[in-house]
Structure 1
Amino acid sequence: MTSVGARVSALRPPWLPAGYGCRAATTADVDAIHHLVAAYESALHGRPTTGADQLATELSLPGTLLVHDDAGRLVACCWVKGRRARLLVLPGHRERDLGSGLLDWAETRARRAGSDRLALTVSDADHAAIALLRTGGYSRLVTEWLLEIALPHEPDVPDPPAGITVRPFRHGDEQAAYQLTEDAFDEWQPRRKTYAEWARHTVERATFLPAASPVALAGDRMVGAVLSLDVPGHGEGYVERVAVRRDHRDRGIARTLLWEAFRAFHRRGRPACTLWTHSGTGALSLYVRLGMTVRRSSTVYCRALVTD
C-alpha cells in the first residue's frame, strides 16, 4: 500500500523547485518538526521559544506539509488547523518561492475544509514572511507581545483585596478554571474552546505547574486565576493564562496573582518569567506597570478566502 507521504511526493506540486521534495507529516516527524521550529526561531530571535509540548498542542498532523532538500533535511513546513495556519521557511531557502507555494497550499486546504478565511501569526522580525503575506492580500488583525520580567530577588506579593483569598491551584479546580478563563476570553477570542481542547492547552500539559498557578476566591467562587507552565530547557517560568471575572476587575486581583506566580518561579530558581498577550485583551498596560518589558512581537495577518 502506498503511504500518504509517498503519494504527496509522487504528485510533486508544480510550485516545488528542483532540489526539494515534500510529503505529509506523520507522528514520527514530531521531533523533527520541533527541531525545525527551534532552528527557525533561533535564526530570528537568537533562541528557541516554542516548547515541544506547546508544539504538540498547536500542530495538526493531518494538515501538515513538510518540505525537505535532496539530503532529506527539513527546510520548511506548513500546517493548517481550522482557520489558522503556521508557515515557516529556514533562512537560506527563502529565495526559491517555497513560502509562496506553501501559502497557496494552506489556502487551498483551508478552503476545501470549509473555512472562509485564513490567519497566520508571523514574527515582526520575519520581514520576508510579512512581505509574502502583504503581497498575498493579508491585512493586520492583532499584535502579540512576548513580555518578560527578571526575577533576581524574591518579589514582594501584595495582599489580595478585601474578601478575596488566594491559594495555589489544586486538583478539583479544573472546571472552575475552565469556566472562568473561557468566560474572560470570550470578549476577544473567535470561538469558545471545549473543555477537552482547553485542558490540552493548560492543565493536562506535562509542564503545567500548579505551585505557580494561584487562584483567587470570593467565598467558594473562583474569580481569578493564573495558569503557569515550567518548560524544560527554557530556564524561565511561563504564564499561559491570566483571567479575572469581569465583576471583580480593577481591584488588584490580577496583580496579586501574577506576583504570586513570579515568586513561585523565583523559588524554583527561575531567573525570569514570560507571557504572551495581544492587543485584543487590553492587558498590555497592566503587565508594563508590573515592570514587564517586551522581548519581541508578532502580528496576526488574515484574509478572506474566495470559494472555488
Structure 2
Amino acid sequence: MDHQPPPFFKRGPAPVALLSFYVALSIALLVVDVRFRTLEVLRQGLSMFTHPVQHLAHFPAQFLDNAGSYFATLTRLQDENAELKRARLENVATLLRSQQIEVENQRLRKLLGVKERQQVSGQVAQILYSARDPYARRVVIDKGQQDKVVAGQPVIDDAGIVGQVTRVFPFVAEVTLITDKEQAVPVQVVRTGLRSVVFGLGSGQLELRFVPANADIQNGDVLVTSGLDGIFPPGFPVAKVVHIESDTAYSFARIFCVPLAGVEHFSEVMVLDPRPPVVLPEELASEATGKDGKASARSGQAKKKRLKRD
C-alpha cells in the first residue's frame, strides 16, 4: 500500500535552498543600500524606536559614573579647591593684562577699519559610545535632528578640534574624528605660519602632508586650524608634531602628529554652528563677475571659430 502523507504534511523547500535564498536577499539589500541609500529612511525610523533601548542600556554605566563622582572623598575635593584658588590667584595678573591687550586690540582694529573676528557659538553634547565600525574612527553624540544638528558641523572639546558631524539621526548624530582616514583639516603651524593639510591615519595619529623636506618645522610645533576650508573656524588647536622623517631624496617630509583634543575619550564636546558664507565686497564681487563674463565671452568666440573652421 502507498503510505504517502496528506498534502497538509508535505515538506517545504529544502533548508539549503531557503538559506541560499535569504543569503542572496541579504547581499542584494546590502548592495542596494550602499549604492542608492534606499534604506536610510527606514534606518532613521528604526532609530527612533531603538533610542529608548539604547538610553536604558547606557543607564547603568551612567549611574555608576555618577555614583563614583558623588562618593569622592572630601579631602580630595578640598585639595582640588585649594589648588584652583591658588591657580586663580596666580593668573589674576595675566588675566588683567590679557583684558588690557584685548581693549588695545579692539581700539587698533577700529582705527584700521578691520572687521572683528566672528565669535563662534554652538551647543554642548555628550559622547555616548564609539561607532560599531571597527575600521573607522567615529563616535555617537546625544544630539540629533531635533536639536537642529546638521551634517558638516565641526565638533570641539576644551583642548581643540575633535571632528566633524557626518551623519544625523532624529535623536543622535555620528561624528567622524580627525584621526579617521577619510578626514583632512587645513592647518597652520603656529611658530612659523606655514600652511598645510593634516590627514588622519586611522590609528589615533595624524600626518602633516605636502610639507617640503627643507621646511622650518620641528618636534613640538603646534598646529591650529587655518579656516581655509570654510568649515572649521581659524585658530583652534588641532595637533602637535611628534616625529619628522626628512629625506633629501624626496620632495616632501613625513611628519607625524598627535591630536590635542581628547578624541579617543568619552567626554563632553561642543557642536559648533556652521560658519556663515563669506560675502565678498562689492568691488571684488564685480571683478569676479567681470572675469567670469570675459571668460564666457572668450569661450563663445572660440566655439564660433571652431564652427567656422568646420
Q: Same fold (TM over 0.5)?
A: no
TM interval, shorter chain, is under 0.3
Structure whose alpha-carbon radius of gyration is higher: 2
- Which structure is richer in relative contact order (CA contacts within 8 A, separation 6 or more)? 1
TM-score, normalised relative to structure 2: 0.21
The structure with the largest strand share of the pair is: 1
The structure with the largest helix share of the pair is: 2
